[in-house]
Structure 1
Amino acid sequence: MAFEFIDQALEDKARDALQRRRICIDKVSARHIQVDGQQYLNFASNDYLALADQAVSGDFVAGSKSSALVTGYQRTHRLLEAKLCNLLGYERAMLFASGFGANFSVLSTLFHDNKAGQDSAIFQDKLNHASLIDGGLNSSAKLVRFNHNDMGHLRARLEKTRAQNKLIVSEGIFSMDGDGAPLHELKSLADTHSAWLMIDDAHSFGVCGENGLGSVESNVRPDILVITFGKAMGCQGAAVLSSKRVIDYMVQFNREYTYSTAMSPALAEIASTQLERLCDSHSAREALHRHIAQFKAICGDAGIPVQASNSAIQPIVLGDAQSTLNAQQRLAQKGIWLTAIRPPTVPHNTARLRVTLTAAHQQADIEYLVQCLKEVV
């Protein structure tokens, strides 16, 4: 029978405790989530500053009506791009509907030409997000992986390559481990080897730096910076920031940008409002970092092993996928909602409970979470 592979693949996923399922949410905020009428403490949100909980008012136009290269690029899009450029110090920006789309299409486009791709190489951290890896695989450039945050390994890879065009790609904060990239070392290696640096700042922007501007506040300015609006900004979309030269190239050759309906003007207006709120959210950032320090300290006292993460992402690595699922279910019985992350999202034998903290949590929430983790883990 045709397409029997579908049934076999689904059976394999279920057997290995790797089956994914969608859960319909009744209500959700940065602190609480309601599923099937039951309320839980929510430790699975990327709404780090609780900005998604704030209402946005305005007379918004729902649709852009066409692609950005037809009539879809409107004043509200241009104003948002200009605001981002002024804030982060770049010449140009372009908007995308999602961070995945931005990462994937930028890497695919930059090395889309087979002739140029033959003389190009993309150097990616082994723990980079799937959108970055897939974008590299979809390009004509050679994809070279280096061990996570291992600058010696990256240096050796750079010294070995004969590629003329070299791009180093990393995340500012890694989405599954929560640790940060060594930005200064990455930039130094890029400069030494005449390479460019691209940083996906999805989990850094809004959270890291004195003003919440992410990687650029470390005095490192990547050649290409990607920020997403669905994390600390609490809305939807993404932006790629770079030089006028690079963005002009993207406008000419980026197929997703060319052949997709432009971002809704309503989403652009909301993103602009949320960007202003993010810049003013100093007290929320302070609260978030207090919660991170509190969580790590209480886990240490409780003997719960935490990773080398000072971000809102705090993974508890259990290893086995089924054991991780069991722990997630036991926590739900205690009123704690968080996510069991399993392969292929993370490497084999590193399944984990991914705890994400927000500014909306209270001290008692975190104390109760750690108490439950101690009982379950």
Structure 2
Amino acid sequence: MEHVSRWEKDITDELLALENQSARRSLVLTENADQTWLTIEGQRMLNLASNNYLGLAGDERLKHAMIEAIQHYGVGSTSSRLIVGSHPLYDKAEKELIKWKHAEAGIIVNSGYVANVGVISALTGRDDVVFSDKLNHASIVDGIVLSRAKHRRYRHKNLNHLEALLQREPIEKRKLIVTDTVFSMDGDIADLKGLVELKERYNALLMVDEAHATGVYGENGTGYAEMEHLQSKVDIQMGTFSKALGSYGAYVVGEKWLIDYLINRMRSLIYTTALPPAVLGSIIKSIEIVQQAGKERQSLHDLTYYFRSELLRNGFNICSSETQIVPILVGENDRSIQFAKLLQQEGIAAIPVRPPTVPEKESRVRFTITSAQAREDINWALDRIIYVGKSLGVI
């Protein structure tokens, strides 16, 4: 009993410390989060916090596809994919994925976190080196830690620093460069052309995380690599179906040797239950829909440009955002919480983001725009953001 009490005391003390630092988190019950407006604790709010970039999460076509899959295949997948969980919808979904991404091979896994942790830890080990942008997603960092490879973090988007780090490693070392394309907290975009040049110059592999770019960029919504005409130059592409595509799960595409190897060595694929049929049914339909969503993509880019421009014009610090992810830098934890709370009282769902998700002293309120929002909704929100920003001295 004393042993258990010690655990409880230490953890309670740590939670109290987080509380005192305005860093403690809690779950909030949210209704209708797939729509333009949502309800939190009984209050109706404009949804400026979700990743439903093309408004597909509540799409009737996806709902129908899920129901149809359940009626035909049942609810559960019953096992991992290497046992009996790789049912026919996986085969169909992966064929559609490969065709859409113009890839040699591809595999669907349970989430973006599962993909990044699994790919990096499968491909690299103690004798390898991984070069990672300082602002990469936590799942990339965790994958590197789990791999036990040498971890070299380069300053955010600083290719000179990356090259200097590459030059320090012996030519015979296996090297992997990993980056987000759209960075989830600052809303800026990696220099993909520059990264391709460096990976070729130093004989490295290049892996990109397209989670926030899939569906949003490229003529067919396949991501930023497509928009830059660099799909054939990027060795490993990871993306998700859970953001712009409105469903769930993630994908990895690349050459056949890569995918074959992951099937044999990717522990987060091998040792987890397969996705349920309903999810795969919606993935197949979402891949079809997203290729025809050029109008929605353009609407998203137009709204985002307008939103960013108005915030800048009124004096807000939006970091280096150039995408649908638009942070307002506030600074201290308690101030970001206060800013978000006042916005919620005004009817805007905006979430404070604090360390360790972002660096110390760089707490922010992060907004995300979707194509489902109307210009009048954005103007309504801007009026309130400006009002709260002035009242708190943020601007």
Q: What do residues 303-350 of structure 1 show as CA deviations (whole Å, max 9, x unaligned)?
A: 223232221100000111100000101111111111100000000010
Aligned-pair CA distance for 1:261: 1.2
Amino acid corresponding to residue 82 of structure 1 in structure 2: K
> In structure 1, what is the equivalent of residue 102 of structure 2?
89
**2:309 and 2:224 mapped to 1: Cα distance?**
26
Aligned-pair CA distance for 1:93: 1.2
Q: Does 1:73 align with 2:86?
A: yes
Which secondary structure state, in structure 1, belongs to the residue aligned with residue 147 of structure 2? coil
**2:270 and 2:375 mapped to 1: Cα distance?**
48
**1:26 and 1:50 mapped to 2: Cα distance?**
16
> In structure 2, what is the equivalent of residue 185 of structure 1?
194
Aligned-pair CA distance for 1:124: 0.3
Amino acid corresponding to residue 334 of structure 2 in structure 1: Q
Q: Percent identity?
A: 34
> In structure 2, what is the equivalent of residue 38 of structure 1?
43
Q: Which of 4, 18, 40 is the aligned partner of 2:23?
A: 18
Aligned-pair CA distance for 1:104: 0.6
- 8 Å contact 1:80–1:272 — kept in the other structure? yes
Amino acid corresponding to residue 328 of structure 2 in structure 1: I
RMSD: 1.2
Deviating more after overlay: 355-364 vs 249-258: 249-258
Deviating more after overlay: 301-310 vs 129-138: 301-310
Aligned-pair CA distance for 1:28: 2.2
Superposed, 1:78-227 pairs within 5 Å as 78-111=91-124, 117-162=125-170, 164-217=173-226, 218-221=228-231, 222-227=234-239
> In structure 2, what is the equivalent of residue 114 of structure 1?
none
Q: Does 1:342 align with 2:346?
A: no
Which secondary structure state, in structure 2, belongs to the residue aligned with residue 28 of structure 1? coil
Report the TM-score when normalising by structure 1. 0.96
Amino acid corresponding to residue 2 of structure 1 in structure 2: R
**1:120 and 1:287 mapped to 2: Cα distance?**
43
**2:268 and 2:145 mapped to 1: Cα distance?**
16
**Unaligned runs of at least 5 residues, structure 1:** 112-116
Aligned-pair CA distance for 1:230: 0.7
Report the TM-score when normalising by structure 2. 0.92
- 8 Å contact 2:184–2:325 — kept in the other structure? yes
- 8 Å contact 1:27–1:34 — kept in the other structure? yes
Aligned-pair CA distance for 1:96: 1.1
Aligned-pair CA distance for 1:368: 1.9
Q: What do residues 28-87 of structure 1 show as CA deviations (whole Å, max 9, x unaligned)?
A: 234111122221001001000000121221242311111111111112101111111111
**1:321 and 1:309 mapped to 2: Cα distance?**
21
Amino acid corresponding to residue 97 of structure 2 in structure 1: L
Amino acid corresponding to residue 78 of structure 2 in structure 1: K
**1:65 and 1:170 mapped to 2: Cα distance?**
34
**1:161 and 1:376 mapped to 2: Cα distance?**
50
Deviating more after overlay: 128-137 vs 68-77: 68-77
- 8 Å contact 2:192–2:225 — kept in the other structure? no
Amino acid corresponding to residue 247 of structure 1 in structure 2: I
> In structure 1, what is the equivalent of residue 6 of structure 2?
2
Amino acid corresponding to residue 6 of structure 1 in structure 2: I
Superposed, 1:177-326 pairs within 5 Å as 177-217=186-226, 218-221=228-231, 222-326=234-338
Q: What do residues 202-225 of structure 1 show as CA deviations (whole Å, max 9, x unaligned)?
A: 000100123322123111121111
Q: What do residues 264-287 of structure 1 show as CA deviations (whole Å, max 9, x unaligned)?
A: 121111111111111111111111
Q: What do residues 161-200 of structure 1 show as CA deviations (whole Å, max 9, x unaligned)?
A: 1262100000010000010000000000000000000000
**Unaligned runs of at least 5 residues, structure 2:** 390-395
**1:357 and 1:39 mapped to 2: Cα distance?**
17
> In structure 1, what is the equivalent of residue 393 of structure 2?
none
- 8 Å contact 2:134–2:156 — kept in the other structure? yes
Q: What do residues 110-156 of structure 1 show as CA deviations (whole Å, max 9, x unaligned)?
A: 12xxxxx3431000000000000000011031111000000000000
**2:103 and 2:123 mapped to 1: Cα distance?**
18
Which secondary structure state, in structure 2, belongs to the residue aligned with residue 143 of structure 1? strand
> In structure 2, what is the equivalent of residue 64 of structure 1?
77
Amino acid corresponding to residue 321 of structure 1 in structure 2: N
Count of aligned pairs between the two proteins: 372
**1:321 and 1:30 mapped to 2: Cα distance?**
29
